[in-house]
Structure 1
Amino acid sequence: MDIGIECPHCRQLDLVQSVPALHADGVSTSSETNVYSGVGVASTGLLPVYGIATVERTNTTALARSLAREPARRPVGRLTTLGLLLLLPALFAVVIGVASVATSDNPETTNLGILAGAALLVGGIAAPGLLVLGVAAFRGRRNGRISRGRRTAHAVWHAAFYCHRCGVAFWPMSPAPAIPGRQAFAPQHFRWLVWNAGGYANI
């Protein structure tokens, strides 16, 4: 079966390119050497400080970004570490509170109000860490959704073409049930269809 890949909008073939090839052309990596200068403090006083660093940057064109097959995944590791570090003061407060109740001369006289106040204090100390861990958990679920739908979205994305003359993306034939073939889409609408096929269009 011969499938034509001409643009459904202009019916031309000369400026049609596959979306994966267009995306590969639009992403490049550059490496630069930057010189830094500043002032350092030493035992003898202020000293000029110079340094050189090699910086690697990934550059993506706006067109390649608009035809991305998935949203960028957000890192979780550092955020989780920060959340756990922020919980340490609350843990120390709990240990100190339990130790003070355990070493009390008369533990039966512990007042309910004192326990409630201690719980509020520990909760207030733990709140920033719990908030950061909540954000990390949200990011982890989001990244998991992207990972689970990536294979399906990639199959849909890989079968698409883009017409540079009309500025539209299309599929010569439908690669999935909800994807119409031989219909032109603006890049943003095309991206939504791909992300929807992967199950992460609304994240």
Structure 2
Amino acid sequence: MSGTHDCPGCGRDDRVQAVPAVYLGGRDSVSSRERDSDGDVRTVTRTVTTGLSKALAPVPEPPGMAVGCLGYLAVLVSLGTFLGGALGGKWFEAEPAPAEPLERNGYQLVRPESPFGDPGPPPDLDFLGWISAFALIAAVLVFTLVHRRKAVFARRTRGRHRAEELWSRGWYCHRCGTAHFLDVPGEDRRPLTLQQFRERVWEHGGYGDLAAAQRAVAALDD
């Protein structure tokens, strides 16, 4: 799909394309067959995004979820140590009643000793309970942090509809590697680098300060 007007940089229109079309054209779903840890083959679908599509994104990337994996790991540790301590330490078993002497016909019988000897008291596994508690607290803190990050991101980008309105009126020249606006009040028609285009769009949505932290990669598409 070519543009309907000339690029202000090169003066040609054969490689001018609407920004939304460039953005969506650089996002593909790719499916592949992979083996999991159990050796079973499964189909995995991933979204592959080009650098140009990322540079023209109308909103910042959401906070990463890698820290959430630590929360799930902490939950597994908490459950594992709790079950290990409960089963090995027999935390929930009642105290055994003292053995009463056996008597038969007025004679006291002696219980035979175990051929394996006295097993002794069970091992003290109370430390597993502490590990389980600390792991559970860590999981709660991690999930609270993830929820807070999501809430902050949603609040910061609540004006994304304004940014997308301006973004949808942008054009990109594949020859020059620049973007520009056409017939937008308050915006001139001069060529903009990908970073400048990002700053204009994100400022319109109220989160322009994030453009400095997530800089656009000025890379031309193939």
Aligned residue type for 2:63: R
Matches within 5 A, 1:180-199: 180-199=187-206
Determine which of 47, 57, 77 is the counterpart of 1:68: 57
SS at match of 1:174: coil
1:111 corresponding residue in structure 2:
none
Higher share in helix? 1
Paired with 2:199 and 2:59, the residues of 1 have a C-alpha distance of 10
SS at match of 1:14: coil
Matches within 5 A, 1:99-110: none
Identical counterparts, % of pairs: 32
Aligned residue type for 1:65: K
CA-to-aligned-CA distance 1:9-38 (integer Å, 9 cap, x gap) = 1111111000011111111111111134x6
Q: CA deviation at 1:132?
A: 5.4
Higher share in strand? 1
Aligned residue type for 1:195: W
1:28 corresponding residue in structure 2:
28
The yes-or-no answer on 1:170 pairing with 2:210 is no
- Normalization by structure 2: what TM-score? 0.56
Q: CA deviation at 1:127?
A: 7.7
Paired with 2:31 and 2:173, the residues of 1 have a C-alpha distance of 31
CA-to-aligned-CA distance 1:168-192 (integer Å, 9 cap, x gap) = 00001225x4xx2211101121112
Query: For the pair shown, which has the larger CA radius of gyration, 1 or 2?
Result: 2
User: Does the Cα contact within 8 Å between 2:63 and 2:149 map onto a contact in 1?
Assistant: no
SS at match of 1:24: helix
Aligned residue type for 1:27: R
- Normalization by structure 1: what TM-score? 0.61
1:11 corresponding residue in structure 2:
11
1:153 corresponding residue in structure 2:
163
User: Does the Cα contact within 8 Å between 1:149 and 1:198 map onto a contact in 2?
Assistant: yes
Structure 2: runs of 5 or more not aligned: 79-133, 211-222
Return closer, same or farther for 1:16/1:144 CA change in 2, 3 Å cut-off.
same
Paired with 2:63 and 2:191, the residues of 1 have a C-alpha distance of 31
Moved over 4 A (4+): 125-132
Return closer, same or farther for 1:130/1:57 CA change in 2, 3 Å cut-off.
closer
SS at match of 1:10: coil
SS at match of 2:41: strand
Paired with 2:42 and 2:152, the residues of 1 have a C-alpha distance of 35
Q: CA deviation at 1:130?
A: 4.4
User: Does the Cα contact within 8 Å between 1:69 and 1:191 map onto a contact in 2?
Assistant: yes
How big is the alpha-carbon RMSD for the aligned residues of Structure 1 and Structure 2? 3.3
Matches within 5 A, 1:73-84: 73-74=62-63, 79=68, 82=71
Aligned residue type for 1:6: D
User: Does the Cα contact within 8 Å between 1:27 and 1:58 map onto a contact in 2?
Assistant: yes
Return closer, same or farther for 1:164/1:75 CA change in 2, 3 Å cut-off.
closer
